[in-house]
Amino acid sequence: MSIQTIGVVSTGDMGHAIGRTLREGGFTAMTALDDRSDRSRKLAADAGIEDAGSLASLTEKADLILSVMPPSAAVDFASRAADAMRGTGKAPLFVDCNAIAPSTTQTISGIVTDAGAGYLDGGIIGGPPGRSAPTRLYVSGEAPERLEVIARPDLLIRPLPGGVGAASAIKMCYAALNKGAMTLETLVLIGAAQLGLSQELHQELSESQAQVLQRMERRVPWLAADAERWTGEMLEIAKTFSEIGLTPKIHQGAADMFQLLAESSLASETRETADRSRTLDQAVAAFAASLSAPGRDAAD
């Protein structure tokens, strides 16, 4: 199939960066901004992504649709996209790039293929294109290599054998380690603060695990900006492991930690507005304050 016009929904932190690199590669990058936030509109404009308006209009114009959004929205979006395909009679190739369990991508595959469209399972690993190391988009399903046409120096396409579910599975395993470790670090830091031992813990870490402490200082202060969407990602990981006979409890707990951060005073920030002068101690104090917020059950 020929791919020239690519729909990217939505244009958040990852989506707008993908749209930008695709546009720079000579593709037409489009999105559907009806009822979207001011932030999504600004990020799309900054990236040079065209606005098709409605999802139906985007479906008519796109050769390929990339679904890039919080995992909790993935199934609903696929259903709306399928309805748009039926309404317009157009069925672009649909790639779900979200952090979802293999069983969830199987559900979405059924929704999309029932509307007559081709479907590929995708899993994004790494930061947004153009920021550090190249972003890796793992792809599985029928002929996943057909997506290699959209590869860019900062967006690597990695086809996988194993059919629909394989790309989501590698994303689940990677995020289980990477983002799961973020919640463990945050848990330990808040715990030490609540126990009155922050200074002592920092001293010990600086002497015995300096690299771990440096990593905490680099990333923990700004986790709240992404915590709400990462809560859903941890639940998808828990679902993944449960379905293969492993305990879901570790990442259910990780979801609880991200939910705590999502309820903190720092959660209103975005990656663009986060205070980069904030120290690790200041962030931990803000997160700990959420523990005693009115209406919060201490057992949550």
Question: Which three-class secondary structure state does DSSP give residue 135?
Answer: strand
Residue range 137-144: average pLDDT?
Answer: 98
Spatial distance between the Cα atoms of 168 and 178, rounded to a whole number of angstroms: 15
HEC profile for 18-76?
HHHHHHHCCCEEEECCCCCCHHHHHHHHHHCCEECCCHHHHHHHCCEEEECCCHHHHHH
Does residue 1 have a pLDDT over 70? no
Structure confidence at residue 131 (pLDDT): 87
All structural domains of the chain: 5-164 (3.40.50.720), 169-292 (1.10.1040.10)
What is the tens place of the pLDDT at every residue in 10-63? 999 999 999 999 999 999 999 999 989 999 999 999 999 999 999 999 999 999
- Any residues with CB less than 8 A from the CB of 206 and at least 6 apart, and which? 213
Spatial distance between the Cα atoms of 131 and 123, rounded to a whole number of angstroms: 18
Instruction: Name the band, by pLDDT with cuts 50, 70 and 90, for residue 299.
Output: very low
Residue range 194-213: average pLDDT?
Answer: 98
Element (H, E) at 93: strand 93-96
What is the tens place of the pLDDT at every residue in 253-274? 999 999 999 999 999 999 889 9
What is the tens place of the pLDDT at every residue in 60-97? 999 999 999 999 999 999 999 999 999 999 999 999 99
What is the tens place of the pLDDT at every residue in 210-254? 999 999 999 999 999 999 999 999 999 999 999 999 999 999 999
User: Higher-confidence residue: 197 or 294?
Assistant: 197
Q: Which segment of 33-37, 111-115, 160-164, 181-185 scores lowest on mean pLDDT?
A: 33-37
Instruction: Name the band, by pLDDT with cuts 50, 70 and 90, for residue 290.
Output: very high
Pairing type for strands 119-125 and 135-141 reads antiparallel
Q: Give the chain's largest Cα–Cα span.
A: 65
Residue range 161-173: average pLDDT?
Answer: 98
Structure confidence at residue 186 (pLDDT): 98
What is the tens place of the pLDDT at every residue in 103-137? 999 999 999 999 999 999 999 999 999 988 999 99
Structure confidence at residue 106 (pLDDT): 98
Sheet of 155-159, strand order: 50-51, 28-31, 5-9, 64-67, 93-96, 119-125, 135-141, 155-159
Q: What is the torsional sign of CA 34, 40, 42, 43? A: negative
Supply φ then ψ for residue 120, to 5 degrees.
Answer: -130, 145
Residue 300: C-alpha distances to residues 119, 146, 195, 260, 287 (Å)? 38, 45, 19, 9, 14
Residue 2: C-alpha distances to residues 57, 62, 93, 146, 243 (Å)? 19, 11, 11, 10, 37
Cut 0.75: pTM above it: yes
Instruction: Name the band, by pLDDT with cuts 50, 70 and 90, for residue 295.
Output: low
Residue range 151-174: average pLDDT?
Answer: 98
- Any residues with CB less than 8 A from the CB of 125 and at least 6 apart, and which? 135, 136, 138, 170, 171, 174
Q: Which segment of 1-10, 161-170, 194-203 scores lowest on mean pLDDT?
A: 1-10
Does residue 296 have a pLDDT over 70? no
